[in-house]
């Protein structure tokens, strides 16, 4: 009887081991890439650095812009269609869109790649027409944010830039609300930056410096309660973002 019990336990152990090996083999088969599919070996993340010229930019802080005291309560904007180029002009596409907020310094991934270096990064301020006019209720993050879409005017698409704040418009010390919502395809801008980034396997990070002083250069806050869509003011802000607001290091 003891021998029978020993044999039974032995066979059970062998069966369990074989079953475990089979599961391991199945797991390996499941993660094996399809023929011709190359799994990226590196990722690129950006660390947002919010600045007002050479000082940190902070929501709720009073800034004097051309003699007007201004406080920003919210600043958010989209960048999209990232394309990386290496020293040999090989290119790969990165993330479709990211949403940046002055309230957050969280690291954001912009690409997964097999490139070994990135010499140039091109992208858009705002969204291309295809992204801008998709159904936001079916979109993936960060394009599923209803507060960044013109719900009352869906044909206009997304708010590429949303700014809420208060300004001493009358110069009497009383801060009154204002809002800037830059939207419509007209506001999209092509952008590019040199990185000179050698990539290692795994995570690679780079600082994205955002200068809000440059973003709001020449904005007349003493005559502003709100502007929405495409206007002379929002086109000016989009031009500022394209030319001077963002750099990488």
Give the span between the Cα atoms of 157 and 146, in whole angstroms.
11
Percent of the residues in the chain that have a pLDDT greater than 70, as a whole number: 84
Confidence at residue 64, expressed as pLDDT on a 0 to 100 scale: 95
Whether the predicted pLDDT of 18 surpasses 60: no
Least confident interval from 9-23, 42-56, 175-189, 220-234: 9-23
| 152 HSE (CA, 13 A, CB side) | 2
Whether the predicted pLDDT of 75 surpasses 50: yes
- Other beta carbons less than 10 A from residue 23's beta carbon: 10
Query: Which value, to the nearest 10 degrees, does the dihedral of the CA atoms of residues 25, 27, 33, 35 take?
Result: 40
pLDDT band for position 7 (50/70/90)? very low
Asked if residues 77 and 125 have their Cβ atoms less than 8 Å apart, the reply is yes
């Amino acid at each position: 009887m003891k021998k029978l019990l020993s044999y039974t336990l032995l066979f059970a152990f062998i069966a369990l081991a074989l079953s475990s090996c089979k599961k391991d083999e199945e797991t390996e088969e499941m993660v094996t890439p399809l023929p011709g599919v190359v799994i990226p070996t590196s990722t690129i993340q950006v660390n947002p650095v919010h600045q007002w010229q050479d000082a940190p930019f902070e929501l709720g802080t009073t800034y004097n812009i051309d003699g007007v005291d201004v406080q920003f309560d919210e600043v958010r904007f989209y960048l999209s269609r990232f394309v990386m180029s290496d020293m040999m002009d090989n290119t790969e596409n990165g993330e479709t869109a990211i949403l940046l907020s002055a309230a957050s310094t969280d690291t954001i991934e912009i690409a997964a790649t097999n490139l070994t270096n990135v010499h140039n990064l091109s992208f858009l301020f705002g969204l291309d027409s295809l992204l801008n006019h998709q159904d936001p209720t079916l979109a993936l993050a960060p394009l599923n944010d209803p507060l960044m879409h013109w719900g009352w005017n869906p044909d206009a698409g997304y708010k590429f830039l949303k700014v809420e704040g208060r300004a001493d418009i009358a110069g009497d010390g009383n801060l009154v609300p204002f809002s800037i919502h830059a939207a419509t395809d007209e506001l999209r801008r092509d952008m590019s930056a040199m990185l000179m980034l050698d990539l290692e396997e795994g995570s690679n990070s780079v600082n994205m410096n955002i200068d809000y002083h440059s973003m709001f250069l020449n904005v007349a806050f003493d005559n502003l309660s709100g502007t929405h869509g495409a206007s002379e003011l929002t086109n000016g802000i989009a031009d500022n973002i394209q030319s001077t607001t963002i750099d990488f290091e």
